Amino acid sequence: MKILVTGGCGFIGSNFIRHILRKYPSYKIVNIDALTYAGNPKNLRDIKGSGRYRFIHGRIEDKKLVKKILSKIDCVVNFAAETHVDRSIKDVSPFLTTNILGVHNLLEAARTVSIKKFVHISTDEVYGTLGDKGRFTEETPLMPNSPYSASKASGDLLVRAYHETYGLPAMIVRPSNNYGYFQFPEKFIPLMITNLLLNKPVPIYGKGENIRDWCFVEDTCAAIDSVMHNSKAGEIYNAGGNCEVRNIELAKSILKIMGKSDRYLKFVKDRPGHDYRYALDNSKIKRELGWKPSIKVREGLERTIKWYRDNEWWWKPLKEKLNNESKGFWS
């Protein structure tokens, strides 16, 4: 099988590429990435010379380029997206361009060349927010609350429309919050870890009462793999970690693992429209495809912390650039 991975130099995309090349010796991957701030070719430097991997620097909005690439592809796995809520609040335009117009361009090209499979990677944030009870199912109405999640929900609806209207063999995966290796250091967990490695405080929005469902990136890659190989066209699957944790509790767990005291916590003004709780119901993907998360949060955090300890070469230059860009907020 020959797979086009879009956004493959990003966090989950790069982990997925490594997962596929390791698990399926006959598969080949083409990776197209715009190399924006979170797209880092160093994420895949260990497979750069592989004859089964090819990188193309480009944007998914480029109609001519995308159509040319897809003419020789069996399956598309679309990770390409602008993803950070805070950035979408400051400037929504890039999110509309990539997450809506870019997705439309991919879908149109895939339809034109009669692609065999199209797997679109979404997010649990398209559902909006939960109270203290209940979980999101695949039937939960989409009620996004941030410009980021609204752009992702729009992309999801386009994918669904292309399946219903044109018969495009498309599927959607909605993971919960991911963490693990190669995650850009503005995200919550790597931000905390890298700040603590530098003996700097970690910013916590509000009182840290918000609840998230965390999934280790290797489990998410296995879920996407399962959907790609075993799902019927038109299906949507949640892929959560079955691990709900308040932000303050997660921060204290990381402090404990790293041998730091609570004095490193720095409570900051909450962001606008901050969703209270996310939690995904995994019943469908477990029942139909046999997937469930295998890595508990304690083990995942320990593995992630060790990776950042061992790979300062990767994150320190990104950290410096990020702090200069944000005038110290992430320090």
- Which residues are marked as active site? 124-125, 148
Cα atoms found within 13 Å of the Cα of residue 175, Cβ hemisphere only = 25
206-217 in b/e form (b: 16+ CB < 10 A) is eebebbbbbbbb
Torsion sign across C-alpha atoms 86, 305, 260, 321: negative
Strand order in the sheet with 244-246: 177-179, 211-216, 244-246
Select from 9, 277, 16, 230 the least CA-distant residue to 132.
277
Q: 214 — phi, psi (to 5°)?
A: -100, 135
Distance CA 78, CA 106 (A): 9
Q: Tokens 């679309």 sit at which residue?
A: 78
Distance CA 106, CA 121 (A): 13
3-state helix, strand, coil in the chain (%, to 5): 45, 20, 35
Strands 211-216 and 244-246: antiparallel
**Secondary structure letter of residue 232 according to DSSP:** P
Asked if 216 and 181 count as a contact pair (C-beta separation under 8 A), the reply is no
Residue type, 21: L
